[in-house]
Amino acid sequence: MKRMTECDLEGKAAVVTGASSGIGRAIAIALGAAGVGVTLCARRRDRLESVAEAIRAKGGSAHVETADFFQVNEIDAAVRGAADHWGGRLDILVNSAGIARQASLIDGDTQDWREMFQVNVLALSVACREALKYFPESGGHIINLSSLAGHRVPGRGGFYSATKFAVRALTVGLRQELRLAGNLTRVGSVSPGFVDTEMLDEYFSKGGADRQGSISYPILQPEEIAAIVLQQLSLPATAEITDVLVRPTGQLI
């Protein structure tokens, strides 16, 4: 059997949303180390510049575009700015931006629901649509960050879970539309369990709980998710991983 050859990522151009912290930050740094030109996209410019400096310090190339993911026009502009910076093209989009809130379906705040849908679903869809305009004819690669909550529903997390089920549906739906159009852009997702991020701390604290008291086992690190994303992106063009579920070893469901 002929052995598959990994795809060389060096020289490709990528956009990573949510790159100012957590999983997005780790993915951006890993891509930079692999020789990818990375556009970092999030709201907080100071944090993005810090990540860009970390990439450049290791010999990588980084570019910053700020965007408020509640504003569609800012997402459009950020993707366009990224493509302009890398010579009018993009090869990779990693949608890592997201928010998580314990907003009950019985008595939750409508604003929390609206904001989770806006960032986790609508902003992701807009970023995909815009990035596709700059992908090569041979096809690019999109990775959407979903969650184990997109495969099962946690207590008091029903609406957040609904947004992540939607990410799965959008990932599958986009791939099908592209194939029907003769476009070989690969579209996949990663669905992690608990990851050590600011977002996880905020999720528990705003729900009135302490993370340390709620989770009794070691959880995933952002760098572990970044390694999985790089593995997806490094497959030869004839293969794609469409969804990866990754749990901390001690997590039950």
The per-residue pLDDT for range 199-235, each reduced to its tens digit, is 776 766 665 555 555 676 788 899 999 999 999 999 9
Torsion sign over Cα 114, 92, 58, 229: positive
Annotated catalytic, 160? Answer: yes
Q: What would the mean pLDDT of 151-163 be, rounded to a whole number?
A: 89
> Rounded distance, CA 17 to CA 40, Å?
6
pTM (two decimals): 0.92
Q: What are the boundaries of each domain within the chain?
A: 13-246
Within 81-120, strands assigned E span 92-95
Q: Give me the residue label for tokens 């957590």.
A: 22
Catalytic option among 134, 160, 203, 217: 160
Residue 4 has pLDDT above 60, yes or no: no
Rounded percentage of the chain residues whose pLDDT exceeds 70 = 91
pLDDT of residue 3: 43
Q: Which one has a higher pLDDT value, 249 or 223? A: 223
> Rounded distance, CA 153 to CA 45, Å?
34
Residue 7 contacts by C-beta under 8 Å, 6 or more apart in sequence? 233, 234, 235, 236, 237
Q: Is domain 13-246 classified as CATH 3.40.50.720?
A: yes
